[in-house]
Structure 1
Amino acid sequence: MVMKEISYNHFFIDKIKKYFSLNSFNKKNKKKVCVAVSGGLDSMVLINLLLDLPEIEPEVAHCNFLLRDEESNKDEFFIRNFCKKKNIKCHIKKFDTLYFSKKYKVSIQMSARKLRYDWFLELLEKYSYEYMVLGHHFDDSIETFFMNVFRGTGIKGLLGIPKKNRKFIRPLSDFNKKEILHYAKIRNIKWRVDRTNQEFKYLRNKIRLVLSRFYSFSFHKGLKKTIDFLHDENLLIEKKIEEIRKKITIEKKDNPFFWKIECKRIKKLKPLSFYLFKLFSPYGFNDINSMKRLIDAQSGKQILSKIYRIIKNRNDWVLISHKLLLENKNKIYIIHDINIKEMFLPVDIKFFLNPKKEKIKNMFFMDFDKIQFPLLLRTWRKGDFFYPLKRKGKKKLSKYYKEQKFSILEKEHIWLLINKNGYIILILGNCLDNRFKVTENTKKILGIKI
């Protein structure tokens, strides 16, 4: 019996070592990681396993969601006491999960997930951990598999919980609950029991309780084989999607995010609905019919997700973040005088007093005495008007932009130079206001080069 227990212990340790060796861990290069420890069976087995690996220096992060009254505080005390005995650093964070759930109108489970992962990302950045280590195992992947089946999903939703996702790793991914429980017993590992895991009101718990009736070695083996096949098939699909992404892309950059796509090539994709979902759902676009209509829509039409928007720009799509629009729309730059060398501005502007016209190209000239500082630099707003140079009367900026056939993107990224009295002096790079033009009475000329 003792020999079996020793062998089982080696089986666990060897499998964990193999996992970490595949992720660039070795004895010569000790890595500092943070382990998410709830106090339950899985996380307590995980932290004990990592303490047995000399190549890893673990620290602990514990979330107290304040959802189970005194039980939550007992979990926290249990973790603090464990870390003190093992002489490892422990990070504890209390969350008002119920308040967060009510404020943002999301479920308690989703609130806890959001709070937990946001904090984990903060810890990764603050302490420069190699990884955040989580205690998910294969049974968790099975539950996720069936949860996504009930909700409706593609192949990606059937892959379970990934073994590694950026800085988050899950070394117990290949172990099932029965194996983890057996290991905890032979190693005499103590853990806390969360009774809410038995409550039937949560979908995951319902699936867990139903699946427990069908538990068998062959059941787990068959599902694991299925998920492994799905992983391979998903890799092939992702490779094909990447090829298509390159094929339809005219231009793409990351900072700020900008993706220009050729509509003609999108239209030729078959099956269109499948490719639209795979290409654009990562940006929050799940309404396939709206995307289909946008392909043939007139220029200027757009669809929105929470973070991004797709704009029909002539014969192309442009996918950008809302953030840039909001920054431009709300940002005002104040220019106190013509000496702007030390200023950070969104466009490159240079002022010249009494310039020589023949020496400087692409410059706008105006009557310096009509300029009143401080000047403002901003984008257009509803109701803006100006007096275009060499034209009669005033014109609304919205109408002028339409006449110039500016796209919706160009409208949002053209900057205006505004006089202290609120008059538009110049549409940068485009047109001067007639009220500021150089006349025979001008004494000083101000040149502005964009």
Structure 2
Amino acid sequence: MLQRLQKHLDNDYPFLKGKKLLLAISGGIDSTVLLHLFHALPYEIAVAHCNFSLRGDESDGDERFVSEFCTEQNIRFLTIRFNTQEYATSRKLSIQLAARELRYNWFQRLIDEEGYDYLLTAHHLDDALETFLINLTRGTGLDGLTGIPGQNGQTLRPLLPFSRVEIENYARDNAINWREDSSNASDKYVRNRLRHQVVPVLKELNPNFLQGFQDTLHHLQQAETLTKDAVDSLYKKVVTEKDGQLSIAIEKLKLVPNYKAYLYQWLKSYGFTAWDDIYNLVEAQSGKQVFSGHYRLLKDRDFLLLSKQKTITDQYLEITENQEVALEQGRIKMYPVTNVTDNGDSRIIFVDKDKLKLPLILRKWKEGDYFYPSGMAGRKKISKYFKDEKFSLIDKENCWLLCSGDEIIWVVGKRADRRFTTEETTNTIIKIELQLW
């Protein structure tokens, strides 16, 4: 096993040479074998152990066991004690999720503060099978069937090609001691029930089941790569990104067979769960929306628009001379100048100070608002201006109006009102500009 592991590392993780490695060691058979293997290989290692305080003396015994081995072998040992039950209760998490969150947060701190390059965990082939089955029973996409990744950022799982039986054999053949976690014998958790009741039946039906599963994982991972290539290729043709918003061209999308699969791949990372509602947006009336925890997807004429849900902000702000105010898209600055240098930039206007009622007001639009657009005769309702300029619902929500009293001076960043422009008789010229972030 040692030689196979070294070959696996040389082929798949050649970048580990010369790096500082942090090994997550619980004291159980899997992580203890991982520790013995890497101690026998030419790598710089340290050990991180979490005491979750869930099994009383047994948890403390695990910590002592790992500590004593590291002391004997002159390996740096780092440990931490958590009140996992309290943490889980305060955050309304299961014990398993709480322990996972606690340990990985601590591992990341060690990497950041102690200068380790990678974290190594002892996940193996049977773990990948159990994860596959868990995801399968809960319902999942292709990504949920590709097993545990061998690398996820700075976290590596070098034992994934090895089965639990191989690890047990290595421990027995090399007289390796380990600590047995009593909770592993319980069927309280889904993973344990699968491990004790389902996986043995599968292995009994086919003695080569694990090898077949490994081959299946390889094929699924290849299929996932092909899928990603296709998804990325169509994304470039159908989706545009601007100011943190995604715009999906519906007519282009509908030309693709099974376009729902592409929508799923593009949007799954944004927390959506109501997939039928999302698919129905394609044929829905303009203005229909679907929400996730932090995002919304809006049908706007010929596009699906994805944007982050905004927190409630001030809808009424004031600004006066030699001042600036921050908005979502940038900051508004207002100051006197000696002459007009109009270059046609809609993000800059020049106004006559004597025509203003200071302080000016920044607010969102409301029904009935109107202004006198520069370069046009007559007046126009803001709602009609939005329609003519093809503003989406999101554009309308993001738009600010700069007002003098009840009169609109500027649809910010878009069009000025001609009533406030400078003339030859203007005494004081005020320059107002929107500087984008």
TM band (smaller chain): 0.7 to 0.9
2:353 equivalent among 332, 343, 368: 368
Aligned equivalents of 1:131, 1:358: Cα separation in 2: 56
Displacement of 1:203 in angstroms is: 0.9
Report which stretch shifted further, 309-318 or 289-298.
309-318
CA drift of 1:43 comes to 0.8
For 1:49 and 1:193, how far apart are their aligned partners in 2? 19
The 8 Å contact of residues 259 and 320 in structure 1, kept in 2 or not, is answered as yes
Quick check: 1:39 aligned with 2:22? no
Residue aligning to 1:13 = 2
Determine the C-alpha separation between the residues in 2 that align with 1:19 and 1:330.
57
Q: Which residue of 2 aligns with 1:414?
A: 399
Q: 1:101 to 1:349 in 2, by over 3 A?
A: same
What CA distance in whole angstroms lies between the structure 1 residues aligned with 2:401 and 2:384? 15
- Residue type matched to 2:3 in 1? D
SS in 2 for 1:172: coil
Amino acid in the other structure paired with 1:51: H
CA RMSD of aligned residues (A): 4.1
CA distance in 2, matches of 1:330, 1:187: 68
1:424 to partner: Cα distance:
7.2
SS for the counterpart of 2:285 is coil
Query: 1:120: which partner in 2?
Result: 107
Matched, 1:430 2:419: no
Supply the distance in 2 between the matched residues of 1:147 and 1:87 (Cα, whole angstroms).
Answer: 39
Shift of 1:204: 0.7
Q: Deviations over 1:358-402 (max 9, x none)?
A: 6543442334364656x787x738x7996734799998x789756
1:26-425 alignment runs, 5 A limit: 29-54=17-42, 56-211=43-198, 213-214=200-201, 219=206, 221-248=208-235, 249-252=237-240, 257-322=244-309, 325-326=310-311, 329=313, 338=322, 346-347=329-330, 351=334, 353-357=336-340, 359-362=342-345, 363-368=348-353, 370=356, 372=358, 380=364, 388-389=371-372, 405-417=390-402
Aligned partners of 1:240 and 1:75: how far apart in 2?
Answer: 44
- Provide the rounded CA distance (Å) in 1 between the counterparts of 2:5 and 2:316: 55
Code of the aligned partner of 1:20 = L
**Cα distance, 1:195 vs structure 2:** 0.8
| Equivalent residues of 2:369, 2:383 under 8 A apart | no
Equivalent pairs: percent with the same residue? 33
- What TM-score does the superposition give when structure 1 sets the normalisation length? 0.78
The corresponding residue for 2:12 is 23
Give the Cα–Cα distance (whole angstroms) in 2 for the partners of residues 228 and 256 of structure 1. Answer: 43
Given that 1:159 and 1:227 are in contact with CA atoms closer than 8 Å, whether structure 2 keeps it comes out as no
1:123 and 1:244 mapped to 2: Cα distance? 36
Provide the C-alpha distance between the structure 2 equivalents of 1:424 and 1:79, rounded to a whole number of angstroms.
Answer: 72
Contact 1:387/1:433, CA 8 A, preserved across alignment = no
CA distance, structure 2, for counterparts of residue 206 and residue 188 of structure 1: 29
Q: Give the aligned length.
A: 427
For the Cα contact (< 8 Å) 2:136–2:145, is it kept in 1?
yes
Where does the alignment leave 5 or more consecutive residues of structure 1 unmatched? 1-11
For structure 2, which runs of at least 5 residues remain unmatched after alignment?
none
Return the TM-score normalized by structure 2: 0.80
Aligned-pair CA distance for 1:194: 1.1
* Distance change in 2, residues 1:212/1:313 (3 Å): closer
Question: In structure 2, what is the Cα distance between the partners aligned to 1:354 and 1:200?
Answer: 77
Deviation of 1:152 (Å): 3.0
